[in-house]
């Protein structure tokens, strides 16, 4: 298969994951409303500025947005003239929204429905990014490592991977067993537990919706400190390049809420990145 | 962030007279007795069992065990000067304890011990994580099948929650001034100890790889040691991220 197969056949591969994982239930229209829709276009644009700068990508590069959701960043890259952008996600509902938007704007963004542990047909990519806490979804750590393995296998030698996730150290300092956010009429009420033996945040979140239909969903996320990600990705041939605590390029500290980390597969090949790192 | 590129390891220089005085001798006999009560209880030690005190220092726990009639205790440490001190006490009190100089990455025993312990932050000394893992592999090798291992060290999560940069204390006119930083890329607590004794000033560096519980469990498991319990103190409270110490009990499969 061509690494950017234009046929949409792969979309039918859909959910090959077994059983019912929390994320199969969690990511729905409601979550979209709470999470994705809360990002203004300006915010997305700023994130995309950061992604472009740190990945040092060019218009003709092959780029994969891993766990793209409704394609906020992938679509924005296409808008800016990046010609070979694919957004991967397991959630067809989100991919449909993304594809509709692409059609509406006449963008050539590709979308792939797959499990993030398997991105069949993708190899030799210039860059991959995974934005907004989409790593660590699997209960069994071996499965999380498969994602790292998949990323390593899909990149070309010297290709770059940028991950934006939550900083475990920040969580350790600021964890709240109860919390709520939202505004009239939509709220999320959180009940949270952190399991030290597995470094996993278990949440039971009650969504209070406009129509009065409240319901509770479970989520769980394996959380990582910087050194753990460095060690984990090193096992799959990915070298640590740099870490930041925000898209403003601040240094990562234990008080940074976000952990943004750049890896290269072997030596960095991008000359612009190499220049920036020097 | 500083990297440990020097050839001499910090621990080859750190465990000197100054640390002996200000780090070890400040611990009174009563505290050692309470710690030994805990070790005996947590490991369910029996008098005739073969016991390893890994990184025994001046032997405060192994000597106390010997005093209590545990007759098959081995203390291993890297620092010959500390072992010399331990031997002096051993001779003076006529205690039955074996004191061995060695490197904890390569414990010179095979399926020898019923139980082993590593107490008072003597783990995570090596800049290369593979070397720290070698210590665990080496413990597993030194234990008999079913052997127990108790590890007492820094609780990384507590350190993150309550991190402070400066600290000091005084004992008999001598001062220790400490400055801390955390190297996040390697999860290393880097501390600089300044000893002030009259006009003399000595500066030493300590580099300890810190672990959160889940990392410790994973590493033990990789080396054939099954995780049994984690406590936050000698009162056996279950470990939380607010406990200063992390005490882990494991068992060789």
Query: Checking phi first, is residue B120 left (phi over 0); if not, alpha (psi -120 to 50) or beta?
Result: left
In angstroms, the Cα distances linking A122 to A116, A126, A180, A218, B161 are 12, 11, 40, 32, 41
Confidence band, pLDDT 50/70/90 cuts, at residue A173: very high
Q: Tell me what pLDDT residue A36 has.
A: 81
Reported as a single tens digit per residue, the pLDDT across A74-116 is: 999 999 999 999 999 999 999 999 999 999 999 999 999 999 9
Question: In a mutagenesis test of the B interface, which of A136, A170, A194, A225 is the best target, namely the one with the most B β-carbons within 10 Å?
Answer: A225
User: Which two three-digit tokens encode residue A157?
Assistant: 């030698």
- Rounded distance, CA B129 to CA B215, Å? 12
Asked if residue A275 has pLDDT above 70, the reply is no
Pairing of strands A258-265, A238-244: antiparallel
Q: DSSP labels for A88-154?
A: EES-HHHHHHHHHHHHHHT---EEEE--TT--TT--SEEEEEE-SS-S---SSHHHHHHHHHHHHHH
Reported as a single tens digit per residue, the pLDDT across B24-52 is: 999 999 999 999 999 999 999 999 999 99
Q: Tell me what pLDDT residue A13 has.
A: 34
Reported as a single tens digit per residue, the pLDDT across A209-257 is: 777 788 899 999 999 999 999 999 999 999 999 999 999 999 999 999 9
In this predicted structure, which of A41-55, A235-249, A264-278, B194-208 has the lowest mean pLDDT?
Answer: A264-278
pTM: 0.91
Q: B10-153+212-252 is classed in which CATH architecture?
A: 3-Layer(aba) Sandwich (3.40)
Confidence band, pLDDT 50/70/90 cuts, at residue A258: very high
Query: Checking phi first, is residue A137 left (phi over 0); if not, alpha (psi -120 to 50) or beta?
Result: alpha
Q: Tell me what pLDDT residue B127 has.
A: 95
Residues in chain A within 8 Å Cβ distance of B239: 196
Residues in chain A within 8 Å Cβ distance of B217: 197
Q: What percent of chain A clears pLDDT 90, i.e. is strictly above it?
A: 77
Residues 129-158 of A with CB under 8 A from B: 141
Query: What is the domain partition of chain A in residue ranges?
Result: 9-167+225-277
- Which of B186, B213, B241 is nearest residue A197 as measured by Cβ atoms? B213
Q: Tell me what pLDDT residue A211 has.
A: 79
- Which of B186, B217, B227 is nearest residue A227 as measured by Cβ atoms? B186
Regions of chain B where pLDDT drops below 50: 1-5
Instruction: Report DSSP state, residue A26.
Output: H
Does domain A9-167+225-277 fall into CATH 3.40.50.720? no
Query: What is the domain partition of chain B in residue ranges?
Result: 10-153+212-252, 160-205
Backbone angles phi, psi at B87, to 5 degrees: -65, -35
Q: What is the ipTM of this complex?
A: 0.92
Asked if residue A6 has pLDDT above 50, the reply is no
| Chain B: residue whose CA lies nearest to A225 | B184
- Rounded distance, CA A233 to CA A107, Å? 33
């Amino acid at each position: 298969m061509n690494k950017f197969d234009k046929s949409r056949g792969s979309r039918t591969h859909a959910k090959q994951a077994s059983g019912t994982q929390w994320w199969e239930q969690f990511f729905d229209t409601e979550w979209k409303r709470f999470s994705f829709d809360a990002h203004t276009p300006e915010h997305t644009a700023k994130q995309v500025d950061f992604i472009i700068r740190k990945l040092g990508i060019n218009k003709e590069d092959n780029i994969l947005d891993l766990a793209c959701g409704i394609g906020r960043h992938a679509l924005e890259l296409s808008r800016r003239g990046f010609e070979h952008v694919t957004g991967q996600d397991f959630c067809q509902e989100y991919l449909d929204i993304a594809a509709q938007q692409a059609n509406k704007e006449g963008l050539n963004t590709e979308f792939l429905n797959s499990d993030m542990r398997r991105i069949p047909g993708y190899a030799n990519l210039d860059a991959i990014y995974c934005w907004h806490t989409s790593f660590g979804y699997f209960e069994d750590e071996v499965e999380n490592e498969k994602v790292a393995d998949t990323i390593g296998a899909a990149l070309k030698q010297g290709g770059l991977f940028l991950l934006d996730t939550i900083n475990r150290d920040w969580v350790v300092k600021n964890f709240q067993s109860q919390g709520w956010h939202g505004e009239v009429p939509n709220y999320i009420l959180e009940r949270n537990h952190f399991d030290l033996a597995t470094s996993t945040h278990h949440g039971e979140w009650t969504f209070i919706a406009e129509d009065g239909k409240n319901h509770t969903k479970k989520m769980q996320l394996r959380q990582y400190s910087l050194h753990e990600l460095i060690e984990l990705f090193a096992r799959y041939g990915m070298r640590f390049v740099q870490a930041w605590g925000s898209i403003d390029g601040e240094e990562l500290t234990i008080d940074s809420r976000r952990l943004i980390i750049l890896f290269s597969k072997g030596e960095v090949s991008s000359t612009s990145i190499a220049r920036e790192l020097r | 962030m500083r990297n440990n590129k020097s050839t001499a390891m910090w621990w080859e220089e750190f465990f000197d007279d100054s640390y002996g005085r200000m780090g070890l001798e400040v611990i009174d006999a009563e505290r050692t007795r309470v710690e030994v009560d805990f070790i005996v209880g947590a490991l369910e030690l029996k008098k005739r069992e073969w016991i390893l005190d890994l990184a025994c220092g001046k032997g405060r726990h192994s000597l106390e065990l010997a005093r209590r009639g545990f007759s098959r205790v081995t203390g291993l440490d890297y620092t010959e000067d500390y072992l010399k001190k331990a031997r002096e006490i051993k001779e003076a009190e006529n205690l039955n304890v074996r004191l061995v100089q060695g490197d904890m990455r390569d414990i010179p025993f095979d399926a020898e011990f019923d139980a082993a312990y590593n107490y008072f932050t003597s783990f995570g000394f090596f800049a290369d994580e593979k070397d720290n893992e070698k210590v665990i592999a080496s413990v597993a090798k030194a234990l008999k099948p079913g052997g127990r291992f108790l590890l007492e060290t820094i609780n990384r999560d507590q350190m993150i929650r309550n991190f402070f940069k400066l600290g000091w204390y005084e004992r008999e006119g001598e001062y220790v001034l400490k400055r801390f930083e955390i190297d996040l890329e390697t999860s290393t607590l880097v501390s600089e100890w300044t000893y002030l004794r009259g006009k003399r000033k000595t500066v030493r560096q300590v580099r300890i790889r810190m672990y959160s519980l889940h990392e410790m469990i994973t590493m033990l498991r990789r080396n054939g040691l099954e995780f049994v319990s984690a406590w936050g103190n000698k009162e056996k409270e279950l470990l939380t991220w607010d406990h200063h110490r992390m005490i882990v009990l494991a068992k060789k499969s």
